[in-house]
Amino acid sequence: MSKENRISKTGPPAHLIGAEGVAHQVFHDAYRESKASWVTARPQPAVMTALSRGWFDDGPLLDLGCGTGENAAAIATARKKLRILAVDAVPQAVEQARLVIAAASLTDRVHFEVADLRDFKAMEPFGTVLDAGVLHVFSDQDRITYLEMVTRVLRPGGTAIFIEFSDAETRPRGPRRLTRGELCSALSLAGFTIDSIEPTRYETTVHSGGAAAWLTRAIR
Ligand SMILES: C[S@@+](CC[C@H](N)C(=O)[O-])C[C@H]1O[C@@H](n2cnc3c(N)ncnc32)[C@H](O)[C@@H]1O
């Protein structure tokens, strides 16, 4: 792995990550070494904003790159009838997420799958997908493959929520930064209509006050 692709406590300038994205092994290493800076033990505030706006009312929900499950737990707690499939490539992340969901007594409605989202096939169509901090990790090429998958798994008229680092975040560490134009054009190319895009924060353990990010709602 190139040094530029690392996210770590001693990390080199991860903010320089560009079209090559974050090397996939980084995620496995981060969980194994307990250095995942996105694990904050609470749901992302931008997810709670989306929840308060009713953006997760149409199920089932697919939580892409669910990490340790705090977003899924918060959404399932607030939406009593919603079924959620939470997917992550890293088995350790899913193991931790299962514990979070079990502690919240939500195992009947929140299910898990360990899978690489660049090659994910859904067993049913989804009304909504959540991507909290995933799209911004992919290379230009993987982004296309990934967004094609997101389009495929959504019902026509379904909603995709994206929360991604923005170019307003100039501090080091973290994934690549997306401009508003880059994000909108990637989503439009994948067949989405942008319903709204606004500045938000993505909380990490290393960006005080949260990293500058975009909260985007797109319709298939
Ligand atoms: C920045 S973290 C966000 C985690 C969670 N959504 C949150 O907001 O707390 C990105 C997550 O995506 C997962 N991930 C990265 N690449 C992936 C891939 N190709 N397939 C599945 N999951 C992936 C990582 O393991 C990690 O848990």
For ligand 1, pick from 27, 120, 164 the residue to mutate: most ligand atoms within 8 Å of CB: 27
Residue 3: the pLDDT is 39
The domain containing residue 26 runs over which residues?
Answer: 17-219
pLDDT digits (tens, 9 = 90+) for 85-118: 999 999 999 999 999 999 999 999 999 999 999 9
Q: How does DSSP assign 124-186, residue by residue?
A: S-EEEEEEES-GGGS-HHHHHHHHHHHHHHEEEEEEEEEEEEBTT--SSSSS--B-HHHHHHH
Would 1 be classed as within a structural domain? no
For ligand 1, pick from 88, 110, 112, 153 the residue to mutate: most ligand atoms within 8 Å of CB: 88
Would 203 be classed as within a structural domain? yes
Domain count, the chain: 1
Q: Output the ligand 1 site: residues, CB below 6 A.
A: 24, 27, 38, 44, 65-67, 71, 88-90, 93, 116-118, 132-134, 137
Residue with tokens 């401009």: 179
Would 107 be classed as within a structural domain? yes
Q: Any idea what the CATH number is for the domain that residue 122 is in? A: 3.40.50.150
Would 181 be classed as within a structural domain? yes
pTM, rounded to two decimals: 0.93
Question: Within the chain, which residues score under 70 in pLDDT?
Answer: 1-17
Would 12 be classed as within a structural domain? no
